[in-house]
Structure 1
Amino acid sequence: MGLLARIRKEWFIIGIVLVIFWAKLQPSIGVKGGPLKPEVTVAYIAVSLIFFNSGLSLKTEELTSALLHVRLHLFVQSFTLIFFPLAVWLLLRVLALTAIDQWLLKGLQTVSCMPPPVSSAVILTKAVGGNEAAAIFNSAFGSFLLGSSSSVPFSSIFTQLFMTVVVPLILGQVCRGFLREFLERRKPPFGAVSSAVLLMIIYTTFCDTFSNPNIELDPTSLLLVVLIIFSIQISFMLLTFAFSTRSGSRFSPADTVAIVFCSTHKSLTLGIPMLKIVFEGYEHLSLISVPLLIYHPAQILLGSVLVPTIRSWMTSRQKPIQAFSVHN
């Protein structure tokens, strides 16, 4: 395979490296309040584009089927909002015996209680070719469920989710109705569009990370927290993968992809406002926020790097299924 062909194939991974490098060099461009205005371009325009893109690319019957996939939804929500916090709580009981800053550990516990984000899990699921419709439902539902039961103003959560998820998704479906033949004939690169949007999200996320003064901690504590976060993510991704692919699980490979990403990703968009409300007045709020500020870019980075591997696995698993279907 020639160099250009390799670059075309691995453009997304190369893009991740480049945007992180650029964020390190010029964090002021993509930071909140900077020229790129991520609080608008990412929080609203980019997320809306993701779900409009999903609405345009997904068949209506796929969305309907995903909505009725109750077992998958129960698995994701139970893992995210029950098992995840409990498992981290048990882990922190052990880590409390170490020299790691206790406020950082409280921050880790807070991260574990967050719902999945409404963007990254969906984009990564789509990039792999997983059950995108199920990812959309679980990401939005998790944020709505936890947000409505927390101290964060319910109306603001509902409005943002409605305007950036529901409306673009419906508009995409409406447009698909008019453009169905064109879309099926030309097959636009929906996945590439979502991946490009994800690169923008990665860039602005790392701009915030590199420019955030709260990250300036004791190097040892910071390194340990980073290692713990990556360990948690990898362990839980493997755990959800093992559970959803075990004999008798009745989850398809596409379902497994959605489960892995939705069950292990945590929302920064909802998390930061919740932290500011729940821990208002705490002098250690900045320390409590650090694990979430690390977890968010870490999950995007790890998920993005694993996209080719998971896609290869899913493709290999789907071939026997398709062959069996044709044979029968």
Structure 2
Amino acid sequence: MARPKLLPDNFTLCLVGTVILASFLPVHGQAAVGFNWVTNVAVGLLFFLHGAKLSREAIVAGATHWRLHLVVLLSTFALFPLLGLALKPLLSPLVTPALYAGVLFLCTLPSTVQSSIAFTSIAKGNVPAAVCSASASSLLGIFITPALVSLVVTNQAASGGASPWHTVGNIVLQLLVPFVAGQLLRPLIGKWIERNRGVLKFVDQGSILLVVYGAFSEAVDEGLWHQIPLSALGGLLLISVVLLALALAVTILVSKRLGFNRADQITIIFCGSKKSLAAGVPMAKVIFASHAVGAVVLPLMLFHQIQLMVCAALAQRWGARDTSGETRAASRERPAAAVARR
């Protein structure tokens, strides 16, 4: 098996290029208004396609494993925010207040979907349970993330002081409604989407790049790079490494102590230690004042790349260890047994 390359992928390079482009050629004035409209349409299309792609059968197959899902959700929406708050006295001096607000926002986000499932599969974990946990985390995050932001991010840039319920309403309108529409239309377009996965990937990555470009354009106009010293970027790198290391350590320890088998441990580790860039960037655009979005998503972009590199290495290492095939059998037996009991 080939070794994982600990290098940025093409999408990460595109993100960096987008930030550089926005730093030198930001969008202004009426062009920014039109660009914002195009971005909103792209984000709505993204969640519509994700809704149409999500298989209900896979969700039902893994949904009965409630103990695993509970551990993943607690790690995602309780452990991370508690770590962000507990470490704030030690880590916040390393970065600016705006960047640490972005770190706290990162801690409130749901888990990734695609990469959590992919890494679980590579490591020979319980893939049906990973599909269920990651998807549930993404959906619940639409409601939980804004509420957590109102509790842990003491920053008036968040929604400009609007109530969390107002923010939830905006997120439901812009993200959940398209998602539900996609689910309802899945019988008609689901097969077409399965055959044309490149379309979803294009919309997925393209919408994120649009949001990042618009966010950093406005942030640059507000003097973002004059407010962030180079030392703060180094501190942000350290914070990201510490958060990921602690999340991995806790999920490994807890999953073992609770008696989960190896396949389930792998699922808990990968679903419970990661944060979603695809959900986080659009949410930041809705939750935070427009001039603050650039600084808020910068920690998420960095954490995203670090989690991909580290989890890719772990997944290939653990997958290479599992030569007996027992883990794969375990991951297949549980959903089959669940269906048989129904």
Query: Who is 1:200 aligned against?
Result: 206
Q: Distance in 1 between matches of 2:33 and 2:316?
A: 35
Match of 2:240 among 218, 221, 230: 230
Partner of residue 188, structure 1: 195
Cα distance change of structure 1 residues 217 and 107 upon mapping to structure 2, 3 Å threshold: closer
CA distance in 1, matches of 2:30, 2:239: 28
Query: What is the match of residue 172 of structure 1?
Result: 182
AA of the residue aligned to 1:122: V
TM value normalised by structure 1: 0.65
Q: Given the alignment of the two structures, is residue 159 of structure 1 paired with residue 181 of structure 2, yes or no?
A: no
Task: Tell me the CA shift for residue 70 of structure 1.
Answer: 3.9
Contact 2:48 2:182 in 1 (8 A): yes
User: Is 1:53–1:172's contact at 8 Å kept on the other side of the alignment?
Assistant: yes
Shift of 1:220: 4.7
Taking the aligned partners of 1:154 and 1:326, their CA distance within structure 2 comes to: 41
2:113 maps to a residue whose letter is: V
Q: Alpha carbons of 1:15 and 1:80: their partners in 2 closer, same or farther (altered >3 Å)?
A: closer
Of the candidates 48, 52, 58, which is equivalent to residue 52 of structure 1? 48
Q: Does 1:138 align with 2:137?
A: yes
Deviation at 1:295, TM superposition (A): 1.0
Is the 1:88–1:112 contact (alpha carbons within 8 Å) kept by the matching residues of 2?
Answer: yes
C-alpha separation in 2, matches of 1:245 and 1:30? 47
Partners of 2:75 and 2:273 within 8 A in 1: no
Q: Which runs of 5+ in 1 are unaligned?
A: 1-8, 277-284
Query: Structure 1 residues 147, 194: CA separation in 2 closer, same or farther (over 3 Å shift)?
Result: same
Residue identity in the other structure for 2:300: H
Per-residue deviation at 1:68? 5.6
**Do the aligned partners of 2:81 and 2:107 also contact (CA within 8 Å) in 1?**
no
Q: Aligned letter for 2:115? A: L
Question: CA deviation digits over 1:225-262, x for unaligned, max 9?
Answer: 32233223432452355247536235364454332224
1:21 to partner: Cα distance:
2.4
CA 1:205/1:297 → structure 2, altered by over 3 Å: closer, same or farther? farther
Q: Which moved more, 1:130-139 or 1:316-325?
A: 316-325
Whether contact under 8 Å (2:138, 2:279) holds in the other structure is no
Give the conservation status (yes or no) of the 8 Å contact 2:103–2:300. no
**TM-score with structure 2 length normalisation?**
0.63
Distance, in Å, in 2 between the alignment partners of 1:147 and 1:116 is 8
Report what 1:249 is aligned to.
260
The alignment status of 1:79 with 2:75, answered yes or no, reads: yes
Matched residue of 1:261: which SS?
A: coil
Residues 35-114 of structure 1: pairs in structure 2 closer than 5 A: 39-42=36-39, 44-64=40-60, 70-95=66-91, 100=94, 104=96, 108=100, 111-112=103-104
**Structure 2 alignment gaps of length 5 or more:** 122-126, 151-160, 337-342
Residue of structure 1 equivalent to 2:112:
121
- Change over 3 Å in CA distance of 1:321–1:246 after alignment to 2: same
1:279 is aligned to none
Counterpart Cα distance in 2 of 1:243 and 1:76: 13
Alignment coverage as a number of residue pairs: 300
Share of identical aligned residues, percent? Answer: 16
